[in-house]
Amino acid sequence: MSVLFSPIALRGLTLRNRTVVAPMCQYSAKDGFANDWHYVHLGRFALGGFGLVIVEATGVTAEGRISYGDLGIWKDEQIAPLARIVDFLHSQGAAAGIQLAHAGRKASTPVPWRKGFDETEVEKAELAFEHWVPVAPSAIAHSNNPNFQTPTALDAAGIQGIIDAFVAAAVRANKAGFDTVEIHAAHGYLLNQFLSPLANKRTDEYGGSRENRMRLVLEVTKAVRAVWPEEKPLLVRLSVSDWNADGWQVEDSVVLSRELKALGADAIDASSGGFDEAAVQVGPNYQVPFARAVREGADIPTMAVGLLGDAAEAEAIVTNGEADFIALARGALDDPNWPLHAKLALGDADYSLWPQQTNRVRERHRSLGQHSFNVS
């Protein structure tokens, strides 16, 4: 039996398989509200057989969004359209997660397919355009690129406000019916900025030593775990390495993951990078070693992510204990039915993962002599 397509439990949540849709920003919201685009975009992954679908980086404050087009969960009115998505995911057998995020100094940037802030006045009204000064651990811009501003350094009250915002967002996520939340501490966004000496130049209790730089992530995790239901798992996404000799290292992530586990985190979504100074060595499965290092070093389940997609390799990763989950983002965009196709590629002729409305696919394969119907 395929390990990739066997059930797995985290606390009281049992996933039908170990395939995950990683969070992907769609830059298609107005005032943070989910709409029909998000409903269809995310719903198709449940139809495609994924075990867990995680909603994109969702701002815990309006100012925490990467762009004005990002989803938000900073007010109660945003719960209902998210709950609609959750209900559909559940109806198709998938679990629903949401990534709670704050972009820090990478906030208030242009929607990526535009040429900077080139919106006309008419478009600004239509798109609910907003632009603001971001916050960060230190008043240092992410990049010399003019799309990034010099942020305001957070004071003690501002830091407490960030913690409170994550807590309030988790309460709303539970009201929306999500099965899990993922705290976003990766990709050069706010919590990752506090972790990394590349961005954190503070001299108070939130800067300097590794212990101090970990403080905010741990405080957020502890506070969210306190309000997140005991039976529901809590995930944390880390950039396991900054890909920079002067930045955050794999061994730092192992230490942090041990602390996160002690606070009640249930799995680490193991990504990497996020700073301009990174020298990322990209290639197929390039982040799998990070998932394995954290899994072995911190004794905590991990998600592998990053240019994955070969079914046999994905099966080997979970079978060999390199990671517990296979998470796809761009791969899922390319093939929303990836789990259905991967299951067949692994020789499993059971079509029960396919929605019943798609039974004609089985008959097509039979007519063409494909998959298990190939008798040659």
The domain segmentation of the chain, as residue ranges, is 8-345
Does residue 281 have a pLDDT over 90?
no
Mean of pLDDT values over 312-324: 98
* Cα distance between residue 327 and residue 180, in whole Å: 15
Name which of 293, 321, 320, 323 is nearest 305 in CA terms. Answer: 323
pLDDT of residue 169: 99
Q: Radius of gyration of the chain from Cα atoms?
A: 21
Secondary structure E strands in 107-208: 135-136, 152-153, 180-185
47-106 per-position pLDDT tens digit: 999 999 999 999 999 999 999 999 999 999 999 999 999 999 999 999 999 999 999 999
Element (H, E) at 176: none
Please enumerate in sequence order all residues whose Cβ is within 8 A of that of 124, keeping only pairs 6 or more positions apart, or say none.
Answer: none
Residue that is written with structure tokens 């761009």 in the block: 330
Contact (Cβ atoms closer than 8 angstroms) between residue 234 and residue 225: yes
SS3 of residue 45 by DSSP: helix
Sign of CA dihedral 175, 181, 185, 186: negative
Q: 59 pairs with which residues across the strands?
A: 72, 101
pLDDT of residue 375: 57
Question: What CATH fold (topology level) applies to the domain 8-345?
Answer: TIM Barrel (3.20.20)
Does residue 168 have a pLDDT over 70?
yes
Name which of 368, 337, 374 is nearest 355 in CA terms. Answer: 337
SS3 of residue 133 by DSSP: coil
Give the Cα-Cα-Cα angle 128, 107, 138 (nearest 5 degrees): 150
* Cα distance between residue 355 and residue 9, in whole Å: 23
How high does pLDDT run on average in the chain? Answer: 96
Does residue 376 have a pLDDT over 90?
no
* Cα distance between residue 63 and residue 141, in whole Å: 16
Secondary structure E strands in the chain: 8-10, 13-15, 19-21, 52-59, 95-101, 135-136, 152-153, 180-185, 234-239, 267-271, 302-305, 325-328
Catalytic pick from 27, 68, 189, 206? 189
221-266 per-position pLDDT tens digit: 999 999 999 999 999 999 999 999 999 999 999 999 999 999 999 9
Residue 369's Cβ-count burial label (10 Å; 0-12, 13-18, 19+) is exposed
pLDDT of residue 367: 86
Residue that is written with structure tokens 């762009």 in the block: 67
* Cα distance between residue 85 and residue 77, in whole Å: 15
Mean of pLDDT values over 282-299: 96
351 flagged as catalytic: no
* Cα distance between residue 339 and residue 302, in whole Å: 19
* Cα distance between residue 106 and residue 112, in whole Å: 13
pLDDT of residue 369: 87
